Chains A and B, each alone.
Chain A
Amino acid sequence: MSQVVSPVREPLVIGGKTYADVTEDVCRQVEGKPTKLWLICFTLALITLGYGSYCLFYTWWTGIGVWGLNKTVGWAWDITNFVWWVGIGHAGTLISAILLLFRQKWRTSINRAAEAMTIFAVLCAASFILAHMGRPWLAHWALPLPNTYGSLWVNFNSPLVWDVFAISTYLTVSLVFWYIGLIPDLATIRDRARNKVSKFVYGAMSFGWDGSAKTWARYESVSLILAGLSTPLVLSVHTIVSFDFATSVIPGWHTTIFPPYFVAGAIFSGFAMVLTLMLITREVFNLKEYITIGHMESMNKIIMLTGSIVGVAYITELFIAWYSGVQYEQYAFLNRATGPYWWAYWSMMTCNVISPQLFWIRKIRRSVAATFILSIIVNIGMWFERFVIIVTSLHRDYLPSSWAMFYPTMYDIGDYIFSFGLFFTLFLLFAKFLPVVNMAEVKAILKSSSAKVAEKRGAAVQTDFQARPAFNKDVE
C-alpha cells in the first residue's frame, strides 16, 4: 500500500512520470550509443589514468623515495589521499543504508550512483594503501596468513591491522549491497534488450531475476539487514581510520575527538562529491525530473549539518590543546595556524567551516551553480584537513634539529592524478553501461511521492478546506 505523504512535502519525482517513463528515461542512456560528450569525457579520463598509471608504476618500480618524504615527514600525500578517498566513499553507504533505516525516500534516485561512487572511491583509497607500503607485492603480509617465520602473526593490537580488516570488509559489503540492488534493474534492461550481446551480458548479470513476490519479499529483508549491517560498518570504518592517528603519541593526532570528527568529515566530503557527480549526471543524462532541486537541497542540508559538526570539532581541538596545558599539544596547534603551513590551515578553515554556512540561505541551497561550486570547495577543504592533520603534526618534530618541510614531487602529484583517472574512468563506465538511477525503488515511491499524486492530493486538501465552513455551519 502506498504510504500517506504530507501534502506540504515537495514531490520527489516531477513531470508526471509513469512506471514506463521511469524505465524509458533510465534505460535510454544504457541502450543508446555513447554520446559525444561521454566519449570526450571518457577519453580525458583515460588520458588521466594513463599518465597516473605511469607515475604509479614508476613509484612501485623505484620505491617511495620518489615522493617528497623525508625522515621527519614519513606520511604525506599518500595517507592524505587515502583518508580523503575513504571519506568520500562514506556518503554512498550513508545514503543507501542510514537513510533507508530512517525511511528517507529521497535517497531512491541517488543511492545507486552514490553507492557506485563509494566503491570506486574505496578502490582509489586502496591504491594509496598499496603504494605507501613501498613493496606492494608484499601487501598480503598485512593479512594473518601462515608464514615461514614459525608463523609470526600480524599484530592485532595495531590499528593498521584493524584498518586492513575495516577497509576490505567495507569494500566487500558495499560491493555486495550495490550489486544486489542492481539485479532487478539489470533484469529490466535484459527484458528490453534487442541485440544478442546485451541480451547475453545483461541476462548473465541479472542472475535470472523474475521479480516474483516471494523473491521481492526476501530481497526486501536482505536490503534491510544489509542496511542494518552497513550502518555500524560505515561508522566503524572512519573510526578505525582515525585510530591510525588517535592511538599514536604524536601531538595533534593523540586526540579522543578523532572518531566522531572523522566520521562527520567523511559524510561532509562524501555528500559534496555526490553532489558534484549528480549535478553533472542529471544534466548529461537528462534526469532532472528524478534528481530534483529538492534532492539537492536535502543533500545541502546534510552538508551544512556535518560541516558545522566539523567546525565545532576544529574549535574543540584548539580549546582542548590550550586547556590540557600540554606544551607539545599547544605548539602543534599554534604551528598549524601560524607556522609555515598556515595557508593550508586557513584554506581548511575557510572551505570547511565558513563556506557550508552559506547553505543557511535557501536561495543558495537551491541554486545549482552555487551548490556545484561549493561542493568542489568543500572537497578541496577536506583534502586540506587531512593534509593539515598529517603533515603539520609531523613536520616539526620534538627536536628542532629535525624540523623539516614537505614538498611534493611530480610522483606525489602523479599518483594523486592516477586516483582521479581511475575514479572517473570507472564512474563513466558505470554511468554508460549500468542504470544510474535505481528504477525499482523509484517506481516504488512514485505513487506516494510523485508530482502527479501531490497535485491530486493538493486538490483534495483544497476541497476539504472549502468544505470546512459548511461543516462548521452544521455544527453551529
Chain B
Amino acid sequence: METNKRYLVGVFDDEDVLLKSVKKIRNSGVKIHEVYTPFPIHGLDEALGYKRSRLPIAAFLFGITGTTCAVAMISLMLGYDWPMIIGGKPFVPIPDLVPVSFELTVLFAALGMVATFLITNNLWPGKKPILFDSRSTDNKFIMAVDLSKNKLASDEITSILRNFGATEVNTKLVEEEVVV
C-alpha cells in the first residue's frame, strides 16, 4: 500500500542556529522526523534525543570473533592436523600466533562493523534515497517534520520553525510504502 505523506521541510543556513533551535523546537511540542546535514554536527544526535550508537560493541564482538578464529585455525592446523617439527620448537608457538591473530582481529572488526553500519542504516548500492531537499548534501541544513505524526497544525509548526531560525519552510509530499 502506498500513501502520500505530507512533510514540512525547514531549511537552515547555519549549523549553530540549527543546533540551538533543535531543542527549542522539540520543547515547543513539534516532533521532528529527522535532520539532514551536509556534514556531521557534533551534539546534534543528542539534541534530537538519539541514543548513543552501539556500533563500538559490534566492532568489539567482531574483533574477538576474529581473534578466536585465527587462534583456533592456527592451533588446529599446526598443532593437530599436521604438526611439523621446526627446529624442535613447540608445535603451537604462542608468539608466532600474534601477527596473524592481530591482523584477522582487525580485518573481522573492520569488515563486520562496516557491514553492520551499512545494514542498520539501510545503505546499499543503487538504493534511492528520500531527499527532502537536494541542497542537504551541499550547503543547507534540512529539518523534516512529519505532519501526520504531529498534533499541531501545519501553520503553527511553520511559524515555530521560522521563529527558531529556519530561512525557508516548504511542504513536501513523499510517496512511501507504509511500514507495518
Give the residue name and chain of the A residue nearest to B97 (CB). Answer: A156
- List residues 165-205 of chain A with CB under 8 A from any CB of chain B: 165-166, 169, 172-173, 176-177, 180, 183-184, 187-188, 190-192, 203-205
Q: Give every chain B residue within 8 A of A176 (Cβ-Cβ).
A: 110-111, 114
Pairwise interchain contact B100-A156, C-beta atoms closer than 8 A: yes
Residues of B within 8 Å of A159, CB to CB, are: 99
B2-10, B71-79, B147-155, B161-169: which one contacts chain A? B71-79
Residues of B within 8 A of A219 (CB): 40, 117
In the bound complex, residues from chain A placing their C-beta under 8 Å from that of B84 are: 155
A226-B63 Cα distance, complex, nearest whole Å = 12
Instruction: Give, as a whole number of angstroms, the nearest-CB distance from A186 to chain B.
Output: 9
In-complex Cβ contact of B138 among A188, A216, A229 (8 A): A188
Contact A440 B38 (CB under 8 A): yes
Nearest-neighbor residue (CB-CB) of A189 within chain B: B137
Mask: chain A, 135-167; 1 = CB below 8 Å from B; 0 = not:
000000000100000111101110101100110
* A150/B82 in contact, CB under 8 A: yes
Which of these, A23, A144, A151, A225, contacts B113 with CB under 8 Å? A225
Say if the beta carbon of B157 comes within 8 Å of chain A.
Answer: no
Q: A156-B77, A188-B137 are in contact. Are A209 and B129 (CB under 8 A)?
A: yes
* Residues of chain B lying within 8 A (CB to CB) of residue A18: 139
Consensus secondary structure, chain A interface: helix
B53 at the interface (CB under 8 A from A): yes
Question: Is A107 interfacial (CB-CB < 8 Å)?
Answer: no
Number of interface residues of B (CB under 8 A): 65
Are A226 and B37 in touch, CB under 8 angstroms? no
How far, in whole Å, are A192 and B134 apart by their CA atoms in the complex?
8
A233 at the binding interface (Cβ < 8 Å)? yes
Interface magnitude class on chain A = 35 or more
Q: Give the residue name and chain of the A residue nearest to B123 (CB).
A: A207
Say whether A208 contacts B117, CB under 8 Å: no
In contact, A210 and B129 (Cβ under 8 angstroms) = yes
Complex contact B117–A216 (CB within 8 A): no
Q: Are A232 and B106 in contact (CB under 8 A)?
A: yes
Question: Known: A161-B100, A440-B38. Is A172-B111 also a contact (CB below 8 A)?
Answer: yes
> Is B61 interfacial (CB-CB < 8 Å)?
no
Contact between chains at B102 and A236 (CB < 8 Å):
yes
Contact assessment for A213 and B107 in the assembled complex, using a CB-CB cutoff below 8 Å? no
Q: Are A226 and B100 in contact (CB under 8 A)?
A: no
Flag if B127 contacts A207 (CB, 8 Å).
yes
Which of A83-91, A297-305, A441-449 sits within the interface?
A441-449
Chain A neighbourhood of B77, CB < 8 A: 144, 151, 153, 156
Q: Is B176 interfacial (CB 8 A cutoff)?
A: no
16 contacts across the A-B interface (CB closer than 8 A): A150-B82, A161-B100, A176-B114, A187-B129, A191-B135, A191-B137, A203-B126, A203-B128, A207-B125, A209-B123, A211-B36, A211-B137, A213-B45, A213-B50, A217-B40, A217-B44
Instruction: List 4 A-B pairs, minimum CB-CB distance, nearest first.
Output: A208-B127, A19-B139, A217-B45, A162-B99
- Chain A interface residues toward B at CB < 8 A: 1-2, 18-20, 23, 144, 150-153, 155-157, 159, 161-162, 165-166, 169, 172-173, 176-177, 180, 183-184, 187-188, 190-192, 203-205, 207-222, 225-226, 229-230, 232-233, 236, 240, 243, 439-441, 443-444, 447
